[in-house]
Structures are given as structure tokens and as C-alpha cells.
Amino acid sequence: MNAASAIDYRELARRRLPHFLFEYIDGGSYAEVTLERNVSDLKDVALRQRVLRDVSQIDLSTRLFDQELALPVALAPIGLAGMNARRGECQAVRAANKAGIPFTLSTVSACNLEEVAAASSKPFWFQLYMIRDRGFMRELMARAVAAGCTALVFTVDMPVPGSRYRDYHSGLAGAPGITGAIRRTLQGAMRPQWAWDVGINGRPHSLGNVAPVLGDKSGIEDFFAWMRDNFDPSVTWDDLDFIRSEWNGPLIIKGVLDPEDAIRAAELGADGLIVSNHGGRQLDGVPSTAKALPRIAEVAGDRLTVMADGGIRSGLDVVRMLALGAKGVLIGRAWAYALGARGEAGIAHVLRLIEAEMKVAMSLTGATSIDEITQDILVESKRG
């Protein structure tokens, strides 16, 4: 199969990855209503086609958090991404470097901060959860600074992990010990290319950043248990003071859906926020990002940098999100599918596709630069 779009890589990843890994990437929480809305609501955003305008020169570059970007796109944090291809986060950061965009490393990545820094030729971003052990959080932020990370993405919509039925059905969650290990091993054996590339040659299979506190229990089977036991449900807005005291660079709050929360983030000194419902992986039934974004951009967009993720599968979707009020977007599943299917080359191809699709969308709406992508390029009935 020749991939012609980012969504084509979904099928390629399904064919190559063990069932439990594909379901982890692909699934959402509960009945996956929000997961579906993220895609369908964004598709419903109608663009205003304009003609006979000089669109011979299209500029996709922008500036976010004092960083010049070739595209208004960043790779979102993906837990366990390093299991999709051999040392997957290292492959992803190289692809992002070459495309001139930021890569965001997850707290629960397979490759740790130091390994990714060694693979990267440019600064990258680090994503952090609120963890019960504040001393360990302090150490993680210090390691991120030492690794050259230029922005901290603080995820706030996961005080407790969401319930994702697919992970239980596949054996990734709810099947501890030898039973779960056997199920995952058998699924891996059915994907010999992955088994050789990752299963055998991609070791160690661990949660790289949190391995120091997990000790012997640092394998994939400990992933959900660690999140359940260590994420802090008592976190409040007051905890941003702790983050700010330890982090001097740009602070980006990820997981905001409500305008009042957006205003609070601005008041407490965040530099940016990401309108996000965790890709439909936390609370099912909440609004899609496309529905939540315009109001948040309206009330907080002049006080901090508003970004968005969720449902973005093409360059056309990127343009839609920018027109709805985002200054930049993060893509998650699009790069995770590509990594699982073809590694670094797959991610690089997806980013080239997004770039080409953005140019077409901008040309046909009369926008020649990122600053010109505003609500004016939306059909009137869809604005706001």
C-alpha cells in the first residue's frame, strides 16, 4: 500500500504492530464518542474558497515560544511511542528536526530524556504530569533543562487515567503477570517484522524517564500500574507555583477545554495552553477540540499562545484549527501511526504531506501566510 495521506498510515500501522500496541494508539475512552467527534467536527468546518488572488508565494513559517518553525505544527507527546519502532522517540525527534518543528517527549516514553537529547540536533519540548513525588518531578525538570528542552508541556487533564476498554480487550491493561506477558508475546510473534525490529533489537523495553523510581518493575506491564499509583488527583491550580519555581522557560498547559480554565491559566502566568481532550482518551462525551477552541481563543488568545490538538489528520485540518483560533497545533496519532508503519521515514513523509496539503488549502482560500489564516477564511455559518 502506497500511503497518500496521514490516515493511510493507520492501516499500515495496524498491519505491522502487535494488536495491543495498535489498540493503545488507536483507541479512546469508554464508547469513544469524543474520539469520533474530534475528527468529525473538524471535518465539518467549512472553508471559504476564494479565487483570482496571487498565491504564487506561500509562507508556512511561524514563531512560537521564541522558536522559529517551518510549520505551525509540533509532534505531540505519545506514551510508549518508542515501542512502535526501534527506539521510536529518537526516530521521531530526528524527523521533527529535519522538518523544522518541535518534538514533545512524553514523561512515559520508552527512550529517556538523555537518549533523545543525544539523537537530536535541535532543542525539543518535554511533557510532564503532576506526580505525587514532588522531588522526582523536580529531578525530571532538572534533567529536561540539562537535555536542552526549551518548553515544558504540563498536562492537567489526567489526575487519574481514563478507562480505555480496548486496552483491556487487547491485554495491555488488566492482565498482569505471566498471563498478560504471554498474550503480548503471542501478539508480537504474529508481527515478525516488529518482533525483530523492536521486540529483539529495540531493547530495553522500559519507561525510560521513570525507570529510576520503578527499579525492577520498569517494563511495559508496569505502565498502567505506575500511572494509577503515581499520578496525583489532588493537584490544583496552586501547584502551578511549584512548576513555575522549578521551570524558567515557556510553560504550556495542556488539556484545557473550558474558557474559565483558560482564563485561570493566563492569570497564573502560563505562556501557552493547548486546547485538548487528550485525543478522546480521558473523559468521553466532552466537546471536541474544534468546538471548544474558538471560545477559548476569544477569551485568552490575547494573553497567551493558544494551541490545539485532537482529530488532526491532514494539512487541511491544520488550516481549519488555525482558522478557529489556534496559533499552532500538535499532531499525535498521525505521527504515531507513521512511526509504527515506517519509522522515521514515515513521520517525515506525513510531515511533507501536511506541508503540501496546507499549501493547497491556503492557496484556495487566498491566505499566503500563517497570519492570514483567520476566521475570515471560514464560511460564515461556521465562524466561532
Whether residue 24 is annotated as binding a ligand: the answer is yes
Residue 281, marked binder = yes
Tell me whether residue 98 is annotated as binding: no
Helix (H, G, I), strand (E, B) or coil at 362: helix
Q: 11: part of which helix (H) or strand (E)?
A: helix 8-16
Tell me if 169 is assigned to a ligand binding site: no
Q: Annotated binding residue at 77?
A: yes
d(CA 380, CA 384): 9
Residue 312 labeled ligand binder: yes
Was 310 annotated as part of a binding site? Answer: yes
The span from the CA of 181 to the CA of 18, in Å, is: 13
Helix pair angle (8-16, 19-26), 10° resolution: 150
Q: For residue 253, which of 336, 27, 267 has the smallest C-alpha distance?
A: 267
For 98-121, b/e burial (b = at least 16 CB within 10 A) is: ebbbbbbbbbbbbbbbebbbebbe
Task: Say whether 135 counts as a known binding-site residue.
Answer: no
Q: Is 155 annotated as a binding residue?
A: yes
CB 101 within 8 Å of CB 351: yes
Q: Is the dihedral of CA 103, 108, 114, 115 positive or negative?
A: negative
How far is residue 89's CA from residue 96's CA, in Å, rounded to a whole number? 10
Residue 164 assigned ligand-binding role: yes
Is 254 marked as a binding-site residue?
yes
C-alpha torsion 191→340→218→151, nearest 10: 180
Q: Which residues are catalytic?
A: 278
The reply to whether 72 sits in an annotated binding site is no
Binding residues for glyoxylate: 24, 129, 164, 278, 281
Annotated binding site: 24, 77-79, 106, 127, 129, 155, 164, 254, 276, 278, 281, 309-313, 332-333
Residues in binding site for FMN: 77-79, 106, 127, 155, 254, 276, 309-313, 332-333
